[in-house]
Homo-oligomer: A and B are copies of this chain.
Amino acid sequence: MFVYRRAVRFAEVDAARLVFFSRYVEYCHDAMEALFAALPGGYEDFTMRRDLGLPTVRLEIEYRAPLRYGDVARLETDVLRVGRTSITLRHRIWRDADDALVTVVEQVVVVTRLSTLVPQPVPDDVRGLFDAHLVPEGAARS
């Protein structure tokens, strides 16, 4: 499990004073960029120098509780599956202060050559990166 924390920013709430629902998608991308920091050059090198990326092909999001300005989001990211070209992630977003479960995001990404948008086999170093956070199937659903 990869853990990533970030405070809600002043501009991330909406007119109802709750974190706007699209922001959680951005938070998940931030967590993935942070997870990639374990590779030399990070996600920047992966995308800008190796011409690879991880476009999302599927998202499922359950919204359970709100976040407000003043809250800290704690993202816990598990890897559910590493396939030939795709990776399935599950991000649970918690309100850090009281451990309320805010959002559960299941995300499927595909390794893709950015200049052609053609799927590619998961490179070994990236496979290693995600394998380190792989959870057993049963645990994934609990």
Q: Could you tell me which A residues sit within 8 Å of B by CB distance? A: 7, 9-11, 13-18, 20-23, 25-26, 29-30, 33, 43-45, 47-48, 53, 55-63, 66, 68-70, 114, 117
Contacts and interface: CB of A to CB of B under 8 A. Distances in A.
Contact of A70 (B11, B13, B44, B66): B44
Contacts of A70: 44-45, 48
Contact of A21 (B13, B55, B60, B117): B55
Contacts of A68: 15, 48
Given A22-B11, A47-B15, A58 B63 contact: yes
A99 B60 CA distance: 25
Ranked nearest first, the 10 interchain pairs of A and B with the lowest CB-CB distance are: A44-B70, A22-B25, A15-B69, A11-B20, A59-B61, A11-B14, A21-B56, A22-B22, A16-B114, A10-B15
